Structure 1
Amino acid sequence: MQFPRLRSLPVWQQDALIALATWVVGFGIYATGNHRLLGAHDDAPLWVRLIELTVLCGLAMLRRWVPGALIIATAVLAVDVWISTSLPALIVYTDFLYAATLYGSRRTSRVMIGLAALSVAGALVAVLVLAHEWRVAVLAAVTVLPFAVMPVWWATNVRQQRDIAETERANARQLAKIAELDRRAAVAAERGRMARDLHDVIAGHLSAIAIQSEAALSMPDPKLARTVLRSVRENSVSALEEMRAMIGLLKTDGGAAETTAPARLTELLKLVESARASGLDVAVGSTVDVVLPAAVDLTAYRIAQEALTNAAKHAPGGRVDVDVCFYDQVLQVKIRNDVFHADTEPADGAGLLNMRERADAVGGTLTAGPADGGWLVRADLPVSDQR
C-alpha cells in the first residue's frame, strides 16, 4: 500500500496528522512516567496531563494562525509550568514557536528571534536568583536552549531558503518574459528585413521588366527589341530565383531546401546591363578589390539596385554614374543621375526608406537628394566592424 506524500495533502490534513502523531508520542511519554523535568515526583494526575496535551495538540490544528495560536499555547504552557513543567508540553510548544516564525509576518519573525534570545537570558537570570549554585543556572539555561532557540533558528533558516527560492522563481519568470520580448523583437526585425528584401526583389526586377517591356513595344528595330526582351527575361529569372530562395527560408518543415547565394557586388554588371536595356546611359567606376563581409556586400548591391530602379523610373533616358570605391575601411557607393526635375523628384517612400534602413543595419549612413542638377544617392558602409 502506498501512502500519499505529506506535502501533497491539503494544509489542514498535514496539520491534523502532525497533531495526531504528537499526541500519540506525548501520551506514551506521560504513560511511562518520563515526562518530569524538575523534581522526582509529579502530583498532577494523568488525566490532567492528557487534557493539557489534548488542548495543545488541538491548537496545533491552528498552528498557522499567527499570533493567536501561539498566545493561547503560551497560556496553556504557563499552566503546565505552574503545575510542574513536563516534557511533552514543551515539545508541543516548540512547534508553535516554529510555526509563528515561519508563517508569521516578517515583523513577527523578527520579534520571535528577539524573544528566543530573551528567553534564554531570562531563564539564566531567574535561575541565578533562585538557584543556590551557578552550575544549576547554567544547566537550566542550556536546558531552555533547545526548546526556545532551536525552533526559531530552524524556522528562520527555512524561511530564508523559501524567500530565496521565491526570488529565484520571480527572476526566472522575469528572464523568461525578457527572452519572450527579445524573441518577438527578433521576429519583428526579421520580418522587417524580409519585407525590405521582398521590396527590393519585386520592385527592382518587376519595375525593370515593366520599363523594358514598354521600351521594347515602342522600338522599330527588331534586333534592339530582342536585346531588350532578353534583358526582360533575365530580370524575370532572377526575380523567380530570389523569390524561391526566400520561400525556402520561410519553410518550417526542417527540409534542406536549396537556396541561392545572396546577391553581391560581383553581379553589379547585371544590374548595369538591365538599366541600359531600360534606356539609361550607365557609366561604372569601381575600385573594390577586397573581400567584403557578406552583410556589407549585400547591402551595397541592394542600394545600387534600388537607386538604378529609381533612376529608370524618374529619369528615363538619362545618364547615370555608378561609382563604388573602398578607402579607410569604408565602402562608398554613389549613384548619380544627371537628369533631374523638381516635378519628378522621387518621393521619400519605401525605396529610400529601405536603403536607409539597410545602411543603418550595418552601421553606415545613406544620403539621397538633389546634387549638381541631378539626383545623388550616396552610401557609406563601414567594413572594419563587420569582419
Structure 2
Amino acid sequence: MAELAGAPVPGLTRLWTHDPTTAGRYRLLGRLGAGGQGVVYLGEDDAGNRVAVKVVNIDLSDPRTRSQFVKEIAAARRVAPFCTAQVLFAEVNGEQPYVVSEFIEGPTLHRHVRERGPVTGNALHRLAVGTATALAAIHGSGVVHCDLKPDNVVLGKDGPRVIDFGIARALGVTETASSRVMGTTAYMAPERFRNDAVGPPCDVFAWAATIAFAAGGSPPFGSDSLFAVMHRVLHDPPELPALPPVLDELIRECLAKDPADRPDAERVLVRLLRQDATVTAPLPRESLLEVGNDTAGAPTPNHPLPQPAPTAPQPRPTSPHAPARPTVPLQGPPTPPAHLTAVEPRVGAGPGGAWRRIRGEALDAWGISTAIFLGSAGAAAGYVASSAIGPAAAAGAVAFVVVYLVRLLVAAAVGGGPDRG
C-alpha cells in the first residue's frame, strides 16, 4: 500500500493472505470492507482510476441464478447518477464473480458517527435529502436496494452517496434476518421478518432508521440481540433522538409498521425540499432529482435548522408583580373564576323571607333527623316511667312534634341554619 501513502483512504486495510490481487483489469490495493455478501476492495486500473470492486459470495453455476444476477445488475447500471455510486461493470463468467462500481472517497456514515459523533443541523438535512434523492433515483429505475444502512452511505466531498444498491437483490438476499448479518437487522422493515414481499417501502423504512442513527448515534430499535431488535421492530415504537419537528414527523411516518402507511421516496424528497422552500411547485422526476442532488452537495454552513413558527399564539405567563389588566365583559354579569365557588343569594333574603325560611327548614334533613332522635328519646323515657308501650309511644310523638315545631319557629325568627355544602 505504499502507492497510497500520499492519499489515505478512510477504512482501507491491507490485503489478507488469501485475498486476490487482481480482478479483471483492476489491481486490488486493499480492503474497504467485508460482510455477508462478500469483500469490497479498492481497485485501480492502468490509468490510475480508482474503483470499488465487490467480490461476491455467490455460485453462478445455476443458469437461473446467473440470469437473475445479470438482470438485477443491469437494472442497477441504469440508475440515474444522483447521490449514488454508479455500477460500472459486473463479471459473471469467471470462477469468482465481482461487481465494479464508482469509488467514492470518504468515510461511511457509520464510521463518521462512531468517530466524530452524530450529524446535526444543516449537515443532517443535507444527508437526509441526499439519501432520499438516491432512493428516488434507485426506485425510479425499478431497483430495490434491500440493504440500506449507515455502512452503505459514503460521505463524499460532493455530498452523501448511497452504494451497494441492487447487489443484495442480485444475490437473492430476500430472506428473513435469521440468515443475515447482525448489523443489518436494526435497519430491516417489519415485513422482512414476516417473509413478505421485498419492495421500495422496505428501503424507505431503512432510510428513516439510517437518518435516526445519524442524528442520535444508535438505531431507533436498538442494536443488541437479534431477537430483541426484531421484537421492537415488529411491535414497539421507535426511540428517536431530538429532531427538527418536520423531520421527526417524516421519520416516524417512514417507520410505520405497515408498508402501506409509509410515503414513497419521491414524496419523502419533496417534503424535505419544501422544508427549506427549495421546491414550492410540482416538478418532473428528473428535475426533482437534480434539485435534491444539488441541495445535498451544497457547501452550506453547519448550523441548526430554523424551527417552524407555532401555528397558534402561545399564552404568556403573567408576572406576579405586574398588576392585572381589567377586562370588560362583552355582555351579561361577570362570570366567577372556575376555581372559585359561585356565591348564591341567601334563601331568606328580602320580603317574605320568614315564610321561605320555614318552608326550607321544614324539608331540611338535619332538622327532621334531630326531631326523630329527640322523639325517640322521649318515647324511651315514657316507657321507662310507665312500662307501657302506649304511653311511651304517645310521649315520643309529643316530643317529636314539639321539637319539630320549636325548630321551625326559631328558624322563622333568626334565619336558616348554616351552610352544609
TM-score above 0.5 = no
Q: Of the two, which has the highest radius of gyration?
A: 1
Q: TM class by shorter-chain length?
A: under 0.3
Determine which structure has greater relative contact order: mean sequence separation of CA pairs < 8 Å that are 6+ residues apart, divided by chain length: 2
TM-score, length basis structure 2: 0.19
